[in-house]
Each structure stands twice: as C-alpha cells, then as structure tokens.
Amino acid sequence: MQAIDFHCDTLSRLREAEREGRPQSFSHNDFHIDLDKLKRGGYLMQCFAAFVYLGDRECSPLASALEQIDIFYRIMDQYPDAIRQVRNCEDLEQARREGKIGAMLTVEEGGACLGSIGVLNTLYRLGVRIMTLTWNFENELAYPNRMPGRVPGIVKSEAETEHGLKEKGFAFVEEMERLGMIVDVSHLSDAGFWDVARHAARPFIASHSNARAVCGHVRNLTDDMLRAVAEKGGITGINYCAAFLDGREDEENCFGTVAQMADHIEHIRQVGGLDMIALGSDFDGIGDNLELKDCSMVPLLADELHRRHYSDDAIEQIFSGNALRLFRDTLR
C-alpha cells in the first residue's frame, strides 16, 4: 500500500541540526522521516514543508524558507537514484516508473512571503506547490486560530471566529489558484477558513488537521468545515499529533494511536465522504508520544483499517488515491 503524506517538518529539523553544528544525514537519522524509513514505509511521495517560525529574531522569514529549500535541493542532488522532485502529476508518474520516492516542496507559514506576490511567484518557480496561509502567528495575510502553547487545557482554547483573511490574503488565494499552488487552511482561524471556503474557486486542503467532533482541539475541523472542504473537492490530511487525536485535557498525557486515527477517518468519512481523506502526518513537527514511531510504521494504520473492514480499494484511496486526484485537479 503506497502512501502520500501531505505534511512533515523534516527540513526544519535538518536545518536546526545544521545550525547547531550537528548535521544529520537524510539517508538515515533519528528523526521520524529519513530515506530508509520512507522506503520501508512504502511511500509514493512525501511533501516536505519549509516551516517558518515568525518569532525567530535571528533570521528573516524568507531566509528561513530559502535555507530549508536549499536543504531540499541538496537532498535531491545527493540521492538522485532514490528520490525525485515533484512539481506536477507527470513528475510523480515518472518517479513511480523509475521506482523512486516523489518529493514535493511546500511552505508552512504564508508570512514567509513578506506580503509580496513576487516572492510567492518565486517560491512557485522553486517548486513550492502547497502553502499554509498562517502558522500560529498573525501575518500579512490572515489570522491563525488561538494557540496558547503547550499548557494543560490547550484543547479548550477558543477558536478565532472574528478575524480571518486580510485584503492581501484574498489576493494571495487568487494568485495561488492562478499559479496552480494549493491553498492550505491548516492553522488558519475559523473565520479565515470560511473566507477561503467562500472565496476559493478551486479545491483547497487542510494538509494536517483532524475532526474537531472527535477531538476538540481548535487545530481540527468542525463538521461544517469538513463538508465545505469536500464540496470544493479538497482533502483533509490526518494528523498524527497526539493532542489532535486524543481528547484528554492535558496535552502532556495524550498518546496518539492508530485506533484514534481510524476513529477520525471514520468520522470524516461519514461527514464528508471517503474522497476527502488523506494522510498529513506532521512528522518531525510533533512529539514522540505516538504508536506510529516513524514513517516506516504507517502500514500499521492500513492494518487497523482492515480490521475495521475497509476494503483494499478504500485504504488505497486514503493512502494515495485521493491525493492523486487532487493533484490532477489542481497542479499545472
């Protein structure tokens, strides 16, 4: 069962290790994702996010993104027989024919663009095909949902329902759709989500978000949101983060299991349909309190879905088929 994962933070982990003078190999490391683990997990493609932390006073948002994109290109150059950059559906099919793993660049934090459409276009030329409009900070484009940090009671944080996209955010959505770059609403405020849902002309995604009805974290989507994503032909990537799976109050005591992941999948299937479900692990951006210790273990989720009487075809849809359909509908 081949997998396509819409979100990981491995590039930022590699960048952090380099900046601290302890560079890690992409071939084999102690992160959630490396080349060996991707092969053992049976991956067709991994999306690699350039994650930008706007609170970093030592590096500009754009420089942070570009440094991670540089790491991505170094990986492509170092392992040409094993991994191939994907900019469009043809690239992914070529990777499949060659027996290579596809790799797609994404950006997590629209603030990396510094409010500039020109920067957005440049990131597209570099191969970025998905971008979240925000992370956990307000930026030039929009407001995120309120995230008080890793403290007990985080699940009860209130969603931001008043402040959504800014004028520049609407312009970015239009330009991203014109380019063929996928708009990602993970981390976006509830008000911003509905701005995108009303304004978008093409499918949009929540690359790494679960069902709020199953776990009440504000990073998850309400049933109405799930329906809106489905109606636009988008997808929701199941996030493996324990706090987004496990409904307990204290995040420190949460533990993410494949059974919980299957619970979210089943709820989303009932609300929005099987066609909108994909994988969005958030690996290397989340803790280790997980049953899926790294990407090589993703077949355990397929095993759990088999136990729940999901057919091989249905599991293939979740693992890769829905993602492939989305790419055919959006990428240019």
Residues 6+ apart with CB under 8 A from 66: 50
pLDDT digits (tens, 9 = 90+) for 36-48: 999 999 999 999 9
Residue 186 clears pLDDT 90, i.e. is over it: yes
Q: What is the pLDDT of residue 153?
A: 43
Q: What is the pLDDT of residue 152?
A: 42
Q: What is the pLDDT of residue 217?
A: 93
Q: How many whole angstroms from its chain centre is CA 262?
A: 18
Residue matched to tokens 């099987």: 274
Banded pLDDT at 249 (limits 50, 70, 90): confident
> What are the residue ranges of helices labelled H in 180-257?
190-199, 223-231, 242-245
CA angle (34 as vertex; 16, 299 as ends), nearest 5: 130
Q: In the chain, pLDDT over 70 holds for what percent of residues?
A: 97
Would you list the DSSP string of 67-102? Answer: HHHHHHHHHHHH-TTTEEE-SSHHHHHHHHHHT-EE
* Alpha-carbon gap, residue 218 to 129, rounded angstroms: 25
pLDDT digits (tens, 9 = 90+) for 2-61: 999 999 999 999 999 999 999 999 999 999 999 999 999 999 999 999 999 999 988 999
Q: Which domain, by its residues, includes 130?
A: 3-330
Banded pLDDT at 147 (limits 50, 70, 90): low
Q: Per the structure block, which two tokens stand in for 58? A: 């030592």
Category of 127 on φ-ψ map: left (φ > 0), alpha (ψ -120 to 50) or beta: left
Asked if residues 106 and 47 have their Cβ atoms less than 8 Å apart, the reply is: yes
CATH number of the domain bearing residue 61: 3.20.20.140
Asked if residues 261 and 308 have their Cβ atoms less than 8 Å apart, the reply is: no
* Alpha-carbon gap, residue 17 to 86, rounded angstroms: 25
Asked if residues 168 and 141 have their Cβ atoms less than 8 Å apart, the reply is: yes
What single DSSP character describes residue 6? S
The total of structural domains in the chain comes to 1
Over residues 90-109, the mean pLDDT reads 98
* Alpha-carbon gap, residue 235 to 231, rounded angstroms: 10
Q: What is the pLDDT of residue 158?
A: 81
Q: What is the pLDDT of residue 324?
A: 98
